[in-house]
């Protein structure tokens, strides 16, 4: 399952009343791309318990998702017994999105595909996306028209505006401890943990 664009999902359905109703629903849910999140420092890391609190997940979920390569910390990976993972703001944003998708009934395997798609995008792009799900598929909407098309044509479609999630995570982290990452803490592109994660993904998709 790939993250699909919402565009064209309900082609030909141009009922003005339904479209206006969908537009109002989208506005009420904060899905009309009016968010302008501020850029955050990229060298601030957050430990596991803080990431759990901000994302609304359990430590068991956090640990399992890290060990299986779903959402791994990009500031500092666990390196042996007693070491502490450090998650970036972007990592926590994705953790919260995963939790929201699970809550809609999307399977973990489908979420893995969606997360890989998000991971390939920059933070600025993430803030401009609305993800919508009917509990089976995940759709990516990058314009208000695509959101409205899905809302007027879908049954029980659930929307996740990433700009809004961004603000929620930002607000949560403002009350929680973070730490500035040292240069040696940052996980480089050729870090062994990254290679291991790539091999895991290759086995799963191969």
Domain assignment present for 62: yes
Specify the number of domains making up the chain.
1
Domain assignment present for 36: no
**What does the pLDDT profile of the chain (206 residues) look like in tens digits?**
346 555 444 444 567 887 887 888 777 777 777 666 676 667 789 999 999 999 999 999 999 999 999 999 989 887 665 568 899 998 999 999 999 989 988 899 888 888 888 777 765 667 678 888 888 888 888 888 888 887 787 767 888 888 888 889 988 988 888 888 765 544 444 444 444 444 444 554 54
Domain assignment present for 125: yes
Domain assignment present for 28: no
Residue owning tokens 């995963």:
98
Show the domain range for 65.
41-181
Domain assignment present for 163: yes
Domain assignment present for 135: yes
Domain assignment present for 161: yes
Amino acid 81: pLDDT? 57
Q: What is the pTM of this model?
A: 0.71
Amino acid 130: pLDDT? 86
Amino acid 54: pLDDT? 94
Domain assignment present for 5: no
CATH of residue 109:
1.10.1660.10
């Amino acid at each position: 399952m790939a993250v699909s664009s919402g565009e064209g999902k309900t082609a030909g359905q141009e009922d003005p009343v339904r479209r206006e109703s969908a537009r109002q629903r989208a506005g009420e849910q904060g899905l009309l791309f009016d968010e302008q999140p501020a850029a955050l420092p990229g060298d601030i890391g957050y430990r596991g318990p803080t990431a759990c609190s901000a994302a609304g997940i359990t430590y068991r979920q956090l640990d399992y998702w890290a060990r299986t390569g779903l959402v791994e910390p990009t500031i500092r990976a666990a390196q042996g017994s007693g070491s502490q993972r450090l998650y970036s703001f972007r990592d926590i944003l994705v953790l919260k999105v995963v939790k929201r998708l699970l809550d809609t009934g999307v399977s973990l395997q489908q979420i893995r595909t969606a997360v890989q798609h998000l991971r390939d995008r920059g933070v600025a792009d993430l803030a401009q996306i609305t993800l919508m799900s009917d509990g089976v598929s995940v759709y990516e909407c990058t314009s208000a028209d695509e959101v409205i098309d899905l809302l007027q044509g879908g049954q029980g479609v659930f929307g996740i505006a990433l700009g809004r999630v961004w603000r929620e995570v930002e607000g949560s982290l403002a009350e929680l401890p973070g730490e500035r990452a040292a240069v040696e803490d940052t996980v480089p592109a050729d870090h062994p943990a990254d290679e291991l994660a790539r091999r895991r993904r290759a086995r799963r998709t191969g």
